[in-house]
Amino acid sequence: MNKPSEEQAAAVGIVAAVGEAIRDLNKLRGGPIPSGELYANLCGLLNEASYTMVIDALVKAGMVKMTNHQLKWIGPEGRNYLEDLAEWERKAAAKRLAANPNSQDPSKWEPPAEDEED
């Protein structure tokens, strides 16, 4: 298995930090936190697209449930959920590779489309 890049490690760290925030805020409030409220507190650190990707990753990993824009921690309390997220990412990467076996072979990569000038 390849060592994750610095960017990948940073991304997992961000997802983990947001997950921890949701878990801890749920405990403090005794219930879910509005997604917009959490985003408002993170908007100086994450743009909207990044925030959405982080929340989607937590939902897909089975750590957070979103109902009516309310975020509820449903992940394990006693386990290290970073390991669960890393396992989920390994499975997702394996699926992507199976769907496109050439994605790991640079000689098969398609060149990026050139931007058309107006």
Q: Whole-prediction pTM value?
A: 0.63
Say which residue, 42 or 113, is predicted with more confidence: 42
3-state helix, strand, coil in the chain (%, to 5): 60, 10, 30
Is residue 104 assigned to a domain?
A: no
The answer to whether the beta carbons of residues 39 and 51 sit under 8 Å apart is yes
- Rounded to whole angstroms, how far apart are CA atoms 34 and 115? 39
Across the chain, the runs of DSSP E, i.e. the strands, are 33-34, 64-67, 70-73
Is residue 98 assigned to a domain?
A: no
Structural domain total, the chain: 1
Q: Which domain holds residue 23?
A: 8-88
Q: Which CATH number goes with the domain that contains 33?
A: 1.10.10
What are the tens digits of pLDDT across the range 87-108? Answer: 777 787 777 777 776 666 555 5
- Helix (H) / strand (E) element for 14: namely helix 6-29
CB atoms within 10 A of CB 32: 19
